[in-house]
Amino acid sequence: MKRRHLVGLAAGSIATTTIAGRSALAQDAANSLPTADAIVKANDVVQWRMAVSFPKSLDIFFGSAELFCQRVNTLTHGRFVITPYPPGELAPALEVLDAVSAQTVDCGYTVANYYAKKHPALTFSSGLPFGLNAQQQNAWLYGGGGLDAIRKVYQTLNVINFPAGNTGAQMGGWFQKDIMQVQDLQGLRMRISGLGGQIMTRLGIEVTMVAPDQIVQAILQGELDAVEFVGPYDDSKLGLHKTAPYYYYPAWWQPSESIDVLVGLTAWNQLPPHFQKAVEIAAKETSVVTLARFNAENAKMLERLEAEGIELKPFERELMQVAEKETFAFYGELAAQNTQFKELYQAWSTFRQTIYQWHQINELSFAQFAFPLSQS
Amino acid sequence: MKRRHLVGLAAGSIATTTIAGRSALAQDAANSLPTADAIVKANDVVQWRMAVSFPKSLDIFFGSAELFCQRVNTLTHGRFVITPYPPGELAPALEVLDAVSAQTVDCGYTVANYYAKKHPALTFSSGLPFGLNAQQQNAWLYGGGGLDAIRKVYQTLNVINFPAGNTGAQMGGWFQKDIMQVQDLQGLRMRISGLGGQIMTRLGIEVTMVAPDQIVQAILQGELDAVEFVGPYDDSKLGLHKTAPYYYYPAWWQPSESIDVLVGLTAWNQLPPHFQKAVEIAAKETSVVTLARFNAENAKMLERLEAEGIELKPFERELMQVAEKETFAFYGELAAQNTQFKELYQAWSTFRQTIYQWHQINELSFAQFAFPLSQS
């Protein structure tokens, strides 16, 4: 027992260091009790900065980043301190992946779909148009080999991901005018992100991708005829419900959206195993809490918006059929161009078909009967 | 720094003690760095036994108990060791709550619905007939005040619960003969648990409650005409698919089933805050992983069972309407008899209506279009 190791441990004496190599706490991973020497040596504090794609005003999104960071802190006895920053402070909202990959920030909290053009295979991490709902996405990630497959793609960018939240099924967005058929989409200037935007382009829409914190400004400047973001809670936080009368559903391009904590692989590999474990577990906890919050808050806010007079409108079945056909044609083209996309697409398609069949039996049959509240 | 605190910390020297009062690690909760003295003092190991309601052969259920225990161990550096035991070793499958409440075991892993007759208000923890699906149940627990409300009921039994898993929507079970209308249920001898069983009794069924590990024996002895358990994966693990030709859906009495880790309140209050935190976080991680496993494995097993020739049959809409009416009449009676049930029922009903409306818009509209796989 070297006495000098004890000196720095007086409460509050935080030394900011990056741990190089493995600390003595590495032993924890083996579930053997660490010796006093090992515990006392683990005196270093790792401080990381996290670039978040969402402004603080979107308090479920940003709050989830905060929850994750707090939990990692607690689980490491205050020795692994991650601080989340809103867009623009460390990286622009739509460039968080680039910053993590380039190691200009330690980690990020973002949506893979933002990077769909450059890295189409990453969209399997956030979710695809006509793809999996939140429950199915988690089933694929944790029970169907999805997470391992996605990590192989992130690895090529020197990044590792930890799914840490899902919005649930999103809304189709706010439209100035009625959309009856595919023709009504022609020339419409719409804010829509990622793969959904690319498919909308094929359907005739003029797509603009604007970061969450800049949507309202774009509308005020008359640059948009329609905008989709998330759902009642976040949309109204941004003020979108005041910009158009019609609120369309469903977002067939986002039956769910999974949010990732991204960590630079080099930094990750230098973390003691106990810190790594804390990240993994905190991410899963954040996952369940975030989805619960989106569901509870969206449900309440939809009621309020309806009371305020917004008009809910379903997309016509025919329009969705055309969109679905175009979507799978697009996937075919992507698979032909991009090997990473192709491999993931094959595994994902099989999983999707199997779980659609199961959920048609157990979940959909009940929901169809019960949700319309016609009986009780 | 007292040298004697260091002596006991040589790796491997595990002292089994129950910690009385708060350990020095209590400081962690405040997110301040513990001093060397505090860390070194935290030398005690707490060993607990967990009574599990499910046999080891049901590897998702029992595996979730194991996952939870492993994570608590890891998060406490091997200082909080919980060992899960199958039914019969510490307590019978359907008496886990009683054992935890009586402090004959430290904790348990079980389903509140098993205790519906004695404690009807507890069923809000596992889920009610014509109630919430898994996503909605989590939304209520973590975003709608449900967990706090449920804990007030458990508290009267000297127990605290941590939701740690959900099966998703269950199957209606295995039937020897075709069920066309409510009349076909008359006199049928069926294994069905909890509230669902009480409602089935009102519909004319002769209900038998048999623990998971004893169902097959009851069938072999000719005591049952029908049996419901969980879903394709677990049902076939028990061999139920060999006992009857018709597999009915949906289990309108179990649109989801949440599984609880139960802890005796006296023991809980003696845990250091860091151990308490480990329990909370491990339970939420177990929650997301368990639901994912049920979804992924049930989907695969349904495909296999269909290939083997089982016949899937939906309950008739009229039968479900009669059942729904009977269910809500029953809830009215329970609320009139039981104040705890009444309070929870009111809060739950409001939440249910709000989230049904939201999910009818965002989730159901997509699922109805996409799951039948008619388009792609």
Residue B268: closest CA among B161, B163, B125, B164: B161
* Binding-face residues of B in 218-257 toward A, CB within 8 A: 231-232, 249-252, 255
| Partners of residue A11 in chain B, C-beta under 8 Å | 27, 32-35
- Tens digits of residue pLDDT in A248-306: 999 999 999 999 999 999 999 999 999 999 999 999 999 999 999 999 999 999 999 99
pLDDT at residue B1, as a whole number? 32
- Tens digits of residue pLDDT in A127-177: 999 999 999 999 999 999 999 999 999 999 999 999 999 999 999 999 999
pLDDT at residue A63, as a whole number? 98
Going by pLDDT thresholds of 50, 70 and 90, the confidence category of residue A44 is: confident
Going by pLDDT thresholds of 50, 70 and 90, the confidence category of residue B43 is: low
Q: Which of A5, A70, A367 lies nearest to residue B364, judging by beta carbons?
A: A367
Q: Is the Cβ of B374 closer than 8 Å to some Cβ of chain A?
A: no
* Binding-face residues of A in 156-195 toward B, CB within 8 A: 168-171
**Hey, what are B88's tokens?**
């019969």
This complex has an ipTM of: 0.90
Round the average pLDDT of chain B to a whole number and report it: 89
Residue A324: closest CA among B320, B372, B4: B372
pLDDT for residue B109 is more than 80? yes
Closest CA of chain B from A94, distance in Å: 26
Mutate to test the interface with B, among A361, A373, A374 (most CBs of B within 10 A): A361
pLDDT for residue A30 is more than 60? no
Q: Is the Cβ of B297 closer than 8 Å to some Cβ of chain A?
A: yes
pLDDT at residue A101, as a whole number? 98
pLDDT for residue B11 is more than 60? no
Q: Which of A46-50, A60-64, A113-117, B20-24 has the lowest mean pLDDT?
A: B20-24
Going by pLDDT thresholds of 50, 70 and 90, the confidence category of residue A376 is: very low
| Partners of residue B39 in chain A, C-beta under 8 Å | 9, 39-40, 77
pLDDT for residue B184 is more than 50? yes
CA A285 from centre of chain:
14
* pTM attached to this predicted model: 0.90
Going by pLDDT thresholds of 50, 70 and 90, the confidence category of residue A322 is: very high
Per-residue 3-state assignment (H helix, E strand, C coil) for B256-319: CCEEEEEEEHHHHHHCCHHHHHHHHHHHHHHHHHHHHHHHHHHHHHHHHHHHCCCEEEECCHHH
Residue range B14-42: average pLDDT?
37
Is the CB of residue A213 less than 8 Å from the CB of residue A277? no
Residue range B208-226: average pLDDT?
88
Rounded CA-CA distance B253/A327 in Å is: 37
Is the CB of residue B131 less than 8 Å from the CB of residue B118? no
Cross-chain Cβ contact B71/A281 below 8 Å = yes
pLDDT for residue B34 is more than 70? no
Q: Which of A54-68, A207-221, B125-139, B259-273 has the lowest mean pLDDT?
A: A207-221
Going by pLDDT thresholds of 50, 70 and 90, the confidence category of residue B12 is: very low
Give the relative orientation of helices A317-337 and A339-359 as an angle to the nearest 10 degrees. Answer: 140
Residue range A201-219: average pLDDT?
90
pLDDT for residue A335 is more than 80? yes
Going by pLDDT thresholds of 50, 70 and 90, the confidence category of residue B42 is: low
A94: helix, coil or strand?
helix
Q: Which of B140, B354, B371 lies nearest to residue A359, judging by beta carbons?
A: B371
pLDDT for residue A77 is more than 80? yes
Higher-scoring residue by pLDDT: A1, B367: B367
pLDDT at residue A138, as a whole number? 98
Rounded CA-CA distance B70/B282 in Å is: 9
Going by pLDDT thresholds of 50, 70 and 90, the confidence category of residue A16 is: very low
pLDDT for residue B181 is more than 80? yes
* Binding-face residues of B in 84-103 toward A, CB within 8 A: none
